[in-house]
Amino acid sequence: MRLTLAGLVAVAAFAQQPGAVLIITDAEGVAGVCRQQQVEQGNAEMQRLLTGEINASVRGFLKAGAQQVVVWDGHGGSWTLTAQTIHDQARLITGSLGSKMLMDSGRFAAVAFVGQHARANRERAVMAHSYSSLGIQKLTMNGAEVGEIETRAALAGAFNVPVIFLSGDRAAAEDLHAIVPEAEAAVVKDGISYYACESMSAAAAQALIEQKAEAAWRKLARIKPYKVNGPVAIEMELTTRSTPSPDAVLGEGVERIGPRTLRFRGKDFLEAWTRWNGR
Ligand SMILES: [Zn+2]
């Protein structure tokens, strides 16, 4: 195929549109956050620390040329952030994003994680879990253990959107780099155990996050979306308290494969994913 100069300019302009980034926030990966009490709803210290990190990433993305930064309050049912303290040029989403997390809107050029933790069953990972520390013991996708990082990266990837940035503990950064090696990561703490960590100061973490977020947006075109091709099976080992009763009616493509384990099958990632979230 021969491209004219005008065609190349048009392709380049299209590649830069849309210029919005969706920041998915969590609490367990924030610098200085290491204990269960800190991630409970209404913990003022955590709210300040997380907001400081989010706003640092917003500054970095805007400095690098992002046209819009949208922040989703992703921790604990979306009760953590407030429009009073979020960066004045960011937009804040509160509440559920639905199973496709707005990825089907065509609005976002990139996804970023701030305050992210690693998947369940990781060692030396602060409060590592997959979606629910109370409800889910283990989550796998096509046999490999996964958590929020891998499944949300796959969801974004299904719509050709790359994950470009993560801040969190070292284990979370490793989880992302295993599937998106080009992504920028700000490692703000090292897990010693589930509830013990060695952390940067808030000021140092925020400076690092701003710098890495800026670098991530500048290399956006070189970061590949994470694609999970072919049929997908998501298996979920539940805790005793969250296991449906034996006579519960399961949806299409959902089967019980063990006393506490459900499997969601789909012809592709999106189908398997929405079967879980559609429950
Ligand atoms: Zn989480």
Measured in Å, residue 119 CA sits from the centre of ligand 1 at: 9
Report the pLDDT value the prediction gives residue 10, as an integer from 0 to 100. Answer: 45
Whether 243 shows a pLDDT value over 70: the answer reads yes
40 CA from centroid of ligand 1 (Å): 12
Distance 13 CA to ligand 1 centre (A): 35
Q: How far is the CA of 129 from the centre of ligand 1 (A)?
A: 7
Whether the full predicted model's pTM is greater than 0.85, yes or no, is yes
Instruction: Say if residue 17's pLDDT is above 70.
Output: no
pLDDT confidence tier of residue 277, bands split at 50, 70 and 90? confident
Percent of the chain with pLDDT over 70: 93
pLDDT average, residue stretch 220-241: 97
Give pLDDT, residue 246: 87
Position 13 scores a pLDDT of 42
Q: What is the pLDDT of residue 278?
A: 57
Task: Give the per-residue pLDDT at 15.
Answer: 45
At which residue do the structure tokens 């917003």 appear?
Answer: 58
Q: Which residues surround ligand 1, an ion (CB under 5 A)?
A: 26
CA of 148 to the centre of ligand 1 (A): 6
pLDDT surpassing 60 at residue 223: yes
pLDDT given at position 279: 47
Would you identify the CATH topology of the domain 15-130+147-222? Rossmann fold (3.40.50)
Alpha carbon of 81 to ligand 1 centroid (Å):
15
Average pLDDT over every residue of 148-171: 98
Report residue 67's pLDDT band, with 50, 70 and 90 as the boundaries: very high
Of 10-19, 123-132, 173-182, 189-198, give the lowest mean pLDDT range: 10-19
Q: Looking at the predicted structure, is the pLDDT value of residue 11 above 70?
A: no
Burial letters 221-230, b for 16+ CB under 10 A, else e: eebebbebee
